[in-house]
Amino acid sequence: MKQVIPHITVDDCGEALDFYQDIFVGEVENARLADGIEMFKGHEGKYIHAELQINDDCVIYFVDIFGKDPVKGNNIQLALQLESEEEINRIYAALSEEGQVKMELQDTMWGARYGAVTDKYGVIWELNYQVESAS
């Protein structure tokens, strides 16, 4: 497997894109609204697809809710391998601000800083920063 791309379905995709773009400092690309597409008539203004391009290797797909609401929080969980302590602290703080901490950010037995947060959209994020050993 070369890459895993998470696909997140949320209510108010435009707001969610702004929220995640601020946290992950990415660019919104390939955004497509339902406007003018016959099969999505009545859903004008909703996103049928959008991509948050974080860097060359990382992308997250987003879509608005169409029809029945998904069960928030148990249909997707994302694990992020982060590059620095500053990055894990920043992302943890931003996601937990209006979310719910599932596990406090802490040092682990596997030599990493780790925490888990359910954000304000019900998405569960596992954050992991592998600390370099002093040896």
Q: pLDDT tens for residues 57-108?
A: 899 999 888 777 666 655 577 888 899 999 999 999 999 999 999 999 999 8
Domain covering 7-64: architecture: 2-Layer Sandwich (3.30)
DSSP assignment of 85-100 equals: HHHHHHHHHHHHSSSE
Question: Which residue bears the tokens 């597409």?
Answer: 37
Element spanning 32, H or E: strand 27-33
Looking at residue 4, the DSSP 8-state letter turns out to be: -
Mean of the per-residue pLDDT values for the chain? Answer: 88
9 — pLDDT class (breaks 50, 70, 90) = confident
Question: Rounded to an integer, what distance in angstroms lies between the CA atom of residue 36 and that of residue 18?
Answer: 23
- 77-130 maps to which CATH number? 3.10.180.10
As a residue count, the chain comes to 135
133 — pLDDT class (breaks 50, 70, 90) = low
Tell me the per-residue pLDDT of 14-59, one tens digit each, with 9 for 90 and over: 999 999 999 999 999 999 999 998 888 999 999 999 999 999 989 9
pTM over the 0.85 mark: no
Residue 73: predicted pLDDT: 56
Question: Which residue bears the tokens 């797909």?
Answer: 61
Is the alpha carbon torsion for 65, 23, 107, 56 positive or negative? positive
Q: Where are the domains of the chain?
A: 7-64, 77-130
Question: Rounded to an integer, what distance in angstroms lies between the CA atom of residue 116 and that of residue 112?
Answer: 13
